[in-house]
């Protein structure tokens, strides 16, 4: 099942609560929350108090993406603030496996992210240990960037491993994805799409509706292909 996770980094911070409710009512699956510390990435966003404040506005799955150094220090606080999943960066953890284990001990899901310049081999050892792999398709820290085409191969490699070993690990892409290019990562095997500007720029409800239409068309196409395959054999 394909999931849409709008990033509230692109929302209007002056009316953040309203923008969260809008994407909820419009039919998004998850809410993607980018947390930046100004050290791992050259930007600062928001932290636990903001997450806690908006948690009461929606029952949607909170997908918290930590772009911070040594995130293991704050896992408990993010869980208490309302995170359903915490994704950390392979580049930011001194002990990746310990960090993943600590997230799971809190009773929430764990994701592992890698930046565009990071070799996919750095995350391969952990694919079977996490609930989701996040492939960054822009350089983290700022919204509104263009999709980096070279990152698509990483999605394909991770998807091949997930399929080969029949894992339940989700594959998320984050950065530069819009309704015109979303089929690129989806065709490569991604099943969770983060979209910021593509959702919040213009008519939010209409933008989400277009994403949903595309998702349904892709799922229908796959069903038709499967039915054709079984009819042939």
* DSSP sequence for 196-221: SHHHHSS-HHHHHHHHHHHHHHHHHH
The number of beta carbons lying within 10 Å of the beta carbon of residue 225 is: 10
pTM recorded for the entire structure? 0.93
Q: What is the CATH number of the domain that holds 105?
A: 3.20.20.70
Whether 168 sits among the annotated catalytic residues: the reply is no
Q: Residue 216 is encoded by which pair of tokens?
A: 């349904």
Distances in Å between the Cα of 44 and the Cα atoms of 13, 30, 141, 223 are 13, 22, 8, 43
How long is the chain?
A: 233
Q: How many separate domains does the chain show?
A: 1
pLDDT tens digits, residue range 123-182? 999 999 999 999 999 998 877 789 999 999 999 999 999 999 999 999 999 999 999 999
Q: Check 19, 29, 34, 37 and give the catalytic one.
A: 34
Q: Check 19, 63, 131, 174 and give the catalytic one.
A: 174
The answer to whether 127 and 133 are in contact (CB under 8 A) is: yes
Dihedral angle, C-alpha 176, 180, 186, 188, nearest 10 °: -80
**Residue 149 backbone class (left: φ over 0; alpha: ψ -120 to 50; beta: rest):** alpha
**CA proximity to 140, closest of 91, 84, 81, 184:** 91
**Residue-level pLDDT at 226:** 44
The answer to whether 23 and 208 are in contact (CB under 8 A) is: yes
The answer to whether 35 and 46 are in contact (CB under 8 A) is: yes
Whether 34 sits among the annotated catalytic residues: the reply is yes
Q: Residue 60 belongs to what domain range? A: 3-232
pLDDT tens digits, residue range 29-73? 999 999 999 999 999 999 999 999 999 999 999 999 999 999 999
């Amino acid at each position: 099942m394909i999931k849409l996770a709008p990033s509230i980094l692109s929302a209007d911070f002056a009316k953040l609560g309203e923008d969260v409710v809008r994407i909820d009512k419009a039919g998004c699956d998850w809410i993607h929350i980018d947390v930046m510390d100004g050290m791992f990435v050259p930007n600062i966003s928001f932290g636990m108090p903001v997450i806690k404040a908006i948690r009461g506005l929606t029952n949607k799955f909170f997908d918290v993406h930590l772009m911070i150094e040594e995130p293991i220090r704050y896992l408990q606080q993010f869980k208490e603030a309302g995170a359903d999943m915490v994704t950390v960066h392979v580049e930011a953890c001194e002990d990746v496996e310990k960090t993943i284990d600590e997230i799971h001990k809190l009773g929430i899901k764990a994701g592992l992210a890698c930046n565009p310049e990071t070799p996919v081999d750095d995350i391969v050892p952990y694919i079977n240990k996490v609930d989701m792999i996040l492939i960054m398709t822009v350089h983290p820290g700022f919204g509104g960037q263009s999709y980096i085409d070279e990152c698509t191969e990483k999605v394909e490699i991770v998807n091949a491993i997930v399929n080969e070993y029949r894992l339940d690990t989700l594959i998320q892409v984050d950065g530069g994805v819009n309704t015109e290019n979303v089929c690129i990562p989806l065709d490569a095997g991604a099943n969770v799409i983060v979209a910021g500007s593509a959702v919040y720029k213009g008519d939010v409800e209409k933008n989400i509706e277009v994403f949903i239409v595309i998702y349904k068309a892709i799922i229908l196409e796959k069903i038709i292909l499967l039915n054709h395959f079984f009819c042939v054999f």
